[in-house]
């Protein structure tokens, strides 16, 4: 099945007016998914976006678009990418884990000099994230980037950029929604830090939990271009195998082409958990050079 891109597109400006009554700064989103397409649809349900304006995800089993209310807000219209049928938390040998992925490489996220990735995950068992379990990956060999569980320290999250990576504690909660954000600034001169990790949850504000220096970043050093397709929940290994699956639920992923401050990320966390149905509150214009306005009316 296919899942439509929900609210952000390449080169679009996003302005958010949230139910908190606060107008937030304009940010350049490259991409975002909320995984709200109805389960079992043969064709992507627009979910408030304009059909055909942006790349869709192909959903590979055992991953599915989850049941009504499976998303982070819990409201009936909110769904998550459900990969809880994965055989394990990470692992590349005899692993069986589905994913959501673009059919081809998405050039808008190649060669970035800085970026921010944010989203939510919820483990399906008492095992914390680990084992290289993929939240999001756009990586081939040592080129590109990925956010995944630490293979050596369960509960740690890793940001890999090209041939370097950083790990941070603070992501070990199990069976509950964890909000994460990671930022990378390839324009920052060494010694850094130029990588920052943030963690939060349903009842916990997003807060800085770790930082580090990725030696790829030194004076406008871009992320290496690669030919891999953007994937959520697992990665493609040797062209066919869904490896390093995340065993659980994923929701509300966003990618920016700049370093987004905590003062913008925290209101997004509050927006995601608010019991406001998404489809009635979104408008999406054309893909190239468009203006996207997200409006949630005060209740």
Average pLDDT over residues 162-177: 94
Collect all residues with Cβ–Cβ distance below 8 Å to 264 and sequence separation of at least 6. Answer: 24, 25, 27
pLDDT higher than threshold 60 for residue 274 = yes
For 91-144, write each residue's pLDDT tens digit. Answer: 766 566 788 887 677 677 778 889 999 999 999 989 899 999 999 988 877 778
Using a 10 angstrom Cβ sphere, with 0-12 exposed, 13-18 middle and 19 or more buried, the burial of residue 178 is: buried
Give the separation between CA 107 and CA 61, rounded to whole angstroms.
25
2-295 fold? Jelly Rolls (2.60.120)
Domain ranges across the chain: 2-295
% of the chain with per-residue pLDDT over 90:
38
For 38-61, write each residue's pLDDT tens digit. Answer: 543 333 333 333 333 345 778 888
Model's pTM, two decimal places?
A: 0.79
Give the separation between CA 84 and CA 98, rounded to whole angstroms.
9
Q: Which tokens hold the place of 235? A: 């990665």
Residues 123, 248 contacting (CB under 8 angstroms): yes
In this predicted model, which residue has the larger pLDDT, 172 or 5?
A: 172
Residue by residue, what is the 3-state secondary structure of the chain? CEECCCCECCCEEEEEECCCCCECCCEEEEEEECCCCCCCCCCCCCCCCCCCCCCCEEEECCCEECCCCCCCCCCCCCCCEECCCCCCCCCCCCCCCCEEECCCCCHHHCCCCEEEEEEEEEECCCCCCCCCCEEEEEEECCEEEEEEECCCCCCCEEEEECCEEEEECCCCCCCCCEEEEEEEECCCCCCCCCEEEEEEECCCCCEEEEEECCCCCCCCCCCCCCCCCCEECCEEECCCEEECCCCEEEEEEEEECCCCCHHHHHHHHHHHHCCCCCHHHEECCCCCCCEEEEECCCC
């Amino acid at each position: 099945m296919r899942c439509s891109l929900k609210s952000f597109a390449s080169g679009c400006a996003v302005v958010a007016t949230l139910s908190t009554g606060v107008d937030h700064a304009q940010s350049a989103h490259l991409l975002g998914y909320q995984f709200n397409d109805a389960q079992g649809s043969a064709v992507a349900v627009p979910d408030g976006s304009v059909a055909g304006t942006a790349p869709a995800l192909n959903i590979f089993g055992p991953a599915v678009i989850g049941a009504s209310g499976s998303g982070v807000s819990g409201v009936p219209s909110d769904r998550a990418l459900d990969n809880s049928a994965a055989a394990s938390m990470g692992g590349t040998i005899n692993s069986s884990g589905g994913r959501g992925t673009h059919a081809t490489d998405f050039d808008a996220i190649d060669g970035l000099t800085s970026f921010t990735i944010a989203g939510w995950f919820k483990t399906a068992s008492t095992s914390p994230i680990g084992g290289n379990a993929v939240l999001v990956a756009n990586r081939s060999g040592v080129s590109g980037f990925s956010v995944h569980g630490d293979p050596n320290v369960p509960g740690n999250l890793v940001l890999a950029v090209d041939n370097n990576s950083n790990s941070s504690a603070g992501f070990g909660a199990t069976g509950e929604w964890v909000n994460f954000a990671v930022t990378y600034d390839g324009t920052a001169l060494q010694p850094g830090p130029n990588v920052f990790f943030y963690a939060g949850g349903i009842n916990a504000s997003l807060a800085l939990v770790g930082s580090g220096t990725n030696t790829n970043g030194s004076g406008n050093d871009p992320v290496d271009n690669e030919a891999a397709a953007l994937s959520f929940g697992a990665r493609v290994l040797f062209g066919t195998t869904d490896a390093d699956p995340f065993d659980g639920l994923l929701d509300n992923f966003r990618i920016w082409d700049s370093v987004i401050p905590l003062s913008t990320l925290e209101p997004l966390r509050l927006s995601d958990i608010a019991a406001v149905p998404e489809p009635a509150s979104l408008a999406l214009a054309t893909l190239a050079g468009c203006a996207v306005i997200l409006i949630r009316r005060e209740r």
